[in-house]
C-alpha cells in the first residue's frame, strides 16, 4: 500500500462494478441491445471480474462444475447450489419470470429474483456482486427509478448474518415473507442513506472544484480531469491520456495539480506506473 488506507483491490472492484452497471444499462437502452437476460449478466460478469478476486474463475461464463458456500467440500458446506447440469433450465425460468407480468409490486419482485439468483449461484465467483447489480437493473427496468441510485450492498454487508439467515430460511422452510420484510427494510434504509450521501457528494465535489479553480497551477486539463473523477475515481497517467486525449506531459501536470490541491492521492508509493484515487470521494461512498 501507499499513502492511503483505502485498499486498491477494493477500489478496483468498485470501479469494475460501475463499469459493469454502465455497460448493462447501455445495452438495455439500445434498440437492439441485450435485455435483462443471462447473456447480459454474463457480459457484465466478465467486466465485473476483470483483474480482481475471482478473475481466473471462468469470468463471463456459467459454471460447469459444482460450487458450494462454506465448508471445505459439498458434504460439509453451509449451502450447496444446484448442479451445473440444471442451470440452463433454472436460468431460463428466471428470465421468463423477469419478463412476464405479475401482480406483485415490482420492489417485491426484485427481492424474489435476488433470492432465486443467489440460490442458483450460476458463477464460480462473483454471484453476490452480480446479484446485487441485478437488483439495481430491475428497479430501473420496472420503472421504480430513473437512475441507478439505490445500492443495498452496504446494508446487506452490515447485516450479513441476518441476510444469510433469511436466504437460508427461504431455501429450507419457504419463509418468503421473512425475506421480503428484510429486503424492504434494506430498501428503506438504503434510500434514506442515499439522499444524505448524494447531498454530501455534491457538497464535496463543489468544494473541491473551487479549490482546483483557485490553485496557482490550474489548467484546462486539470479542470477537465477533475470533472471526470466522479466517474473514474481511480486513475493512472495512461488512463488520463486516453480519457482526455492529451499527451503524457499534459496528463502528468494535470494529475500533479490535483495531487497538490489534495484531491488525488497516490496509492502505490512507486516512482513509475503510479495509481491515484479521489480519496475523499471514495471515503464518502464507503
With 0.75 as the threshold, say if the pTM is over it: no
Identify whether 180 is part of a domain. no
- What would the pLDDT profile of 56-78 be if each residue is shown by its tens digit? 788 999 999 999 998 899 999 99
The dihedral built from the CA positions of residue 93, 94, 96 and 100, taken in this order, carries a sign that is positive
Whether 241 and 122 map to the same domain: the answer is no
The answer to whether residues 132 and 239 belong to one domain is no
* Domain end marker among 106, 125, 148: 148
List the CATH number of the domain containing 264.
1.10.10.10
Measured CA to CA, the distance from residue 183 to residue 22 in angstroms comes to: 24
pLDDT value, residue 285 = 76
CATH code assigned at 93 = 1.10.3290.10
User: Which neighbouring-strand residues pair with 115?
Assistant: none
Tell me: do 132 and 23 sit in the same domain: yes
Cβ partners under 8 Å of residue 164, min gap 6: none
Q: Does residue 201 form part of some domain?
A: no
pLDDT of residue 1: 37
Q: Which of 104, 124, 148 is the last residue of a domain?
A: 148
What is the span of the domain harbouring residue 250? Answer: 215-285
Q: Is residue 50 part of a domain?
A: yes
Instruction: Work out how many domains the chain is built from and give that number.
Output: 2
Query: Residue 3: what pLDDT?
Result: 41
Residues 6+ apart with CB under 8 A from 78: 68, 69, 70, 71, 168
Which positions of the chain have pLDDT values less than 50? 1-6
Amino acid at each position: 500500500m501507499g499513502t492511503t488506507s483505502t485498499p486498491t483491490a477494493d477500489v478496483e472492484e468498485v470501479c469494475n462494478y460501475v463499469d459493469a452497471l454502465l455497460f448493462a444499462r447501455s445495452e438495455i437502452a439500445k434498440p437492439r441491445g441485450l435485455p435483462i437476460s443471462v447473456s447480459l449478466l454474463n457480459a457484465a460478469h466478465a467486466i465485473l471480474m476483470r483483474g480482481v478476486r475471482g478473475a481466473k474463475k471462468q469470468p463471463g461464463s456459467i459454471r460447469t462444475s459444482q460450487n458450494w458456500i462454506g465448508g471445505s467440500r459439498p458434504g460439509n458446506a453451509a449451502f450447496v447450489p444446484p448442479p451445473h447440469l440444471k442451470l440452463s433450465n433454472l436460468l431460463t425460468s428466471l428470465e421468463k419470470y423477469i419478463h412476464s407480468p405479475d401482480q406483485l409490486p415490482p420492489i417485491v419482485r426484485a427481492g424474489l429474483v435476488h433470492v432465486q439468483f443467489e440460490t442458483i449461484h450460476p458463477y464460480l465467483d462473483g454471484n453476490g456482486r452480480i446479484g446485487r447489480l441485478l437488483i439495481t437493473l430491475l428497479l430501473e427496468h420496472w420503472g421504480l427509478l430513473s437512475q441507478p441510485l439505490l445500492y443495498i450492498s452496504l446494508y446487506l454487508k452490515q447485516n450479513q448474518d441476518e441476510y444469510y439467515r433469511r436466504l437460508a430460511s427461504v431455501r429450507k422452510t419457504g419463509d418468503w415473507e421473512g425475506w421480503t420484510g428484510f429486503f424492504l427494510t434494506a430498501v428503506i434504509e438504503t434510500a434514506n442513506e442515499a439522499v444524505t450521501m448524494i447531498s454530501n457528494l455534491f457538497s464535496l465535489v463543489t468544494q473541491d472544484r473551487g479549490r482546483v479553480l483557485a490553485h496557482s497551477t490550474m489548467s484546462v486539463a486539470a479542470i477537465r480531469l477533475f470533472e471526470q473523477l466522479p466517474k473514474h475515481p481511480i486513475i493512472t497517467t495512461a488512463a488520463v491520456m486516453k480519457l482526455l486525449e492529451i499527451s503524457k506531459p499534459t496528463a502528468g501536470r494535470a494529475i500533479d495539480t490535483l495531487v497538490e490541491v489534495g484531491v488525488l492521492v497516490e496509492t502505490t508509493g512507486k516512482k513509475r506506473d503510479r495509481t491515484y484515487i479521489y480519496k475523499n470521494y471514495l471515503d464518502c461512498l464507503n
